[in-house]
Amino acid sequence: MKTVIVGYTQDTGGQDALALARSIAAHGGTTLVVCVVAPESWGPSSLGVDQDYNRFVDEHATALLDSARAILRDAPNVRYERIAAKSATVGLTQAAEREAADLIVLGSASGNAVGRLLLGDVTDELLHMSSRPVAVAPQGFASTAPPTRVTIGFSGTEGASSTVLHALGLAGALTVPLRIASFAVRDRLAFPSRFGPELEFAILERWTAQAQAALDAVRAQIAVTGYPVETAIGVGANWEEALAAVDWLEGELMLLGSSRLGALQRVFLGSNAAKMVRASRVPVIIVPRT
């Protein structure tokens, strides 16, 4: 991983984003580009209001970048940039394309519970516009230790194959193990109560067997590379329980594939992926499927 873009804001989400980016870059060799997006300057006016406004914007952006420098302190390979754009989404997207960034890192929206992820307006817009993977840090994320494992949420579909390859590349770049996991919510598999719990159990057992077979097939394909791969299955009454049904290491990253948007190849979350993001207690990376 060569370049990571960090969208920095003056709130806890901005601090969380810096911590996650520094963690991802801790293995060395990665350049962090900390970006503060400021409104584009107003054109000249006869009242001189534009000069006052532009001066305010400059001072605010400078203060934000100084704040980011104070947080990262002596972190190596960091650049700090002010970007003028009509919106934060546009500015970060353009910066990521210009830098050929491997990843865009953001924090959760404010007001979320500590340890949980909540996508704010900028993050949501970026997920619809970006052709680059987007990482979101949970509220209160503070670890700067290197990542310990990459877990991919695997749907078992043909479209997920490119996401598996991306996860393998990410795990290799971070020199951590890869885990492929499938998750399901029981109430989506359940039949009306008149059929009894036996039928629900039988359906769940069949799904588990099919999911394990799909996981084993993918692991066998990756095994030829010699890379260490684990598998796991998590089932629960809701997505929080399903994700909690498997172990999570401190420093783990979860990777999810986006839904298809045809030739646009943009990041867009499907309904299950969006629910998994909200249920996750670890940072999540969403990648566009090609």
Average pLDDT over residues 178-196: 69
Q: Which residues of 276-286 are buried (b: 16+ CB within 10 A; e: fewer)?
A: bbebbebbbbb
- Kindly write down the DSSP assignment for every residue of 252-280, as one continuous string: EEEEEEPPP-GGG------HHHHHHHHH-
CATH topology of domain 1-142: Rossmann fold (3.40.50)
Grade residue 134 by pLDDT with cuts at 50, 70 and 90.
very high
Q: Provide the percentage of residues in the chain whose pLDDT is more than 70.
A: 83
Start and end residues for every CATH 3.40.50.620 domain found in the chain: 1-142, 147-290
Size of the chain in residues: 290
Average pLDDT over residues 189-212: 69
- Higher-scoring residue by pLDDT: 38, 116: 38
Contacts of 244 (CB under 8 A, 6+ apart): 234, 236
Grade residue 264 by pLDDT with cuts at 50, 70 and 90.
very low
Grade residue 196 by pLDDT with cuts at 50, 70 and 90.
low
Grade residue 267 by pLDDT with cuts at 50, 70 and 90.
very low
Average pLDDT over residues 241-257: 94
How much is the pTM?
A: 0.86
How much is the mean pLDDT over the chain?
83
To the question of domain 147-290 being in CATH 3.40.50.1980, the answer is: no
Closest among 112, 113, 108, 162 to 283, alpha carbons compared:
108
Q: Determine the pLDDT at residue 74.
A: 85
- Higher-scoring residue by pLDDT: 51, 196: 51
User: CA 38 from chain center: how many Å?
Assistant: 23
